[in-house]
């Protein structure tokens, strides 16, 4: 058991496919410079670590932590993420963990922020603090309500960096990555404020949608 997760789920969630460490694409061998796929458009973050694909039981678990009362499950998923990638996380020497922020109104309606809970748990596990280095400056439509080609514009300049970012190595935390538009907007704000490096972690990556986008499928 891991924080309430059964052994089967823990093993299943931590048994993801090999991924490029720069863009997170499954099945792609990547160096520090990225894989063949992400070199066509290099991601704005310095590297990304993913627990698993956004499907099946992991998808169900992530949907559960988006609702109040599932904080222990969020912490368990964060623990699995850190356990799987501890060596990589130690190697990048981050100064602080930064959750992707939710707009205050959406958080008030939902009653929780799973990214905040996961970020706190990751920070405790790797022995650094949580830095509320980003503010969601404006409300945006839910990304999953929009077609992929509109998601970048939806979150463009939606985030503002607080003071104290300059020169720091930061670990950006989100629950699910699909097109990467939200992470990219967060990275733009942090780098614009002088962050020395921005790495990212996520509980899951929506590979099926990303593959469809890349292939031009409807």
Q: Is the pTM of this model over 0.95?
A: no
Q: List pLDDT tens digits, range 176-216.
A: 998 898 999 999 999 999 999 999 999 999 986 554 443 33
In CATH terms, 7-215 corresponds, of 3.40.50.2020, 3.40.50.2300, 3.40.50.880, 3.90.870.10, to 3.40.50.2020
Q: Measured between alpha carbons, how far is 65 from 73 in angstroms, rounded to an integer? A: 7
Provide the residue ranges of all domains of the chain, joining segments of one domain with +. 7-215
Q: List pLDDT tens digits, range 20-52.
A: 888 888 876 655 667 877 778 889 999 999 999
SS3 203: strand
48 HSE (CA, 13 A, CB side): 32
Residue tagged 């280095």 (tokens):
133
Q: Measured between alpha carbons, how far is 58 from 80 in angstroms, rounded to an integer? A: 12
CA distances from 8 to 5, 20, 28, 202 (A): 8, 26, 27, 21
Q: What is the DSSP letter of 57?
A: H
């Amino acid at each position: 058991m891991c924080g309430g997760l059964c052994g089967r789920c823990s093993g299943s969630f931590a048994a993801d496919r090999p991924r490029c460490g720069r863009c997170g694409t499954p099945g792609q061998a990547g160096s520090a410079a990225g894989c063949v796929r992400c070199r066509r458009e290099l991601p704005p973050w310095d590297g990304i670590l993913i627990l698993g694909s956004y499907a099946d039981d992991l998808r169900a678990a992530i949907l559960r932590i988006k609702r109040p009362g599932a904080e222990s499950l969020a912490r368990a998923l964060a623990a699995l993420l850190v356990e799987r990638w501890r060596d990589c996380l130690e190697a990048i020497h981050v100064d602080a963990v930064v959750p992707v922020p939710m707009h205050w109104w959406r958080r008030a309606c939902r009653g929780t922020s799973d990214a905040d809970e996961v970020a706190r748990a990751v920070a405790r596990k790797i022995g650094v603090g949580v830095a509320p280095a980003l503010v969601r400056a404006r409300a945006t439509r839910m990304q999953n309500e929009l077609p992929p080609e509109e998601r970048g514009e939806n979150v463009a300049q939606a985030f503002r960096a607080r003071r104290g970012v300059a020169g720091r190595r930061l670990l950006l935390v989100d629950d699910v990555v699909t097109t990467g538009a939200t992470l990219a907007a967060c990275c733009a704000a942090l780098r614009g404020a002088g962050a020395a490096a921005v790495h990212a972690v996520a509980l899951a990556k929506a590979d099926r949608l990303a593959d469809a986008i890349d292939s031009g499928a409807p």
